[in-house]
Structure 1
Amino acid sequence: MTRWRKSSYSNDYEGSCVELAGLGLGEVGLRDSKAPDAGHVSVSTAELGLLLERVRSET
């Protein structure tokens, strides 16, 4: 069973948040916490790192 994790900051944004889950072999799943049954996107841990760097640089 995949364990999805949501940021503790998500409650600050009315529950709107992205959830992450380790999928194994260097893959991470991303999904919308308000629509968990809608599926997820898989990215490599390297791609997730690049995404997080970009988000941090934009704020």
Structure 2
Amino acid sequence: MGHSQELSEFKHGTVKGCHPCYKSIREISLLLNIPRSTVSGIIIKWKQLGTTATQLRSAHV
């Protein structure tokens, strides 16, 4: 797998803004040119945690 870039706060906000306007995950994905799985992950995280901020990862030793 390749290394991916983090999405900007703008794109996170755009996903959150499109979702309540009855845009489908597919439509949002095409609009922002990001994978459907990423859009879905953002929406799920937003619903469960109330935020889309990047969480710190624990170091594996």
Same fold (TM over 0.5): no
Greater Cα radius of gyration, structure 1 or 2: 2
Bucket of the pairwise TM-score, normalised by the shorter protein:
0.3 to 0.5
Larger relative contact order, structure 1 or 2 (CA cutoff 8 Å, min sep 6)? 2
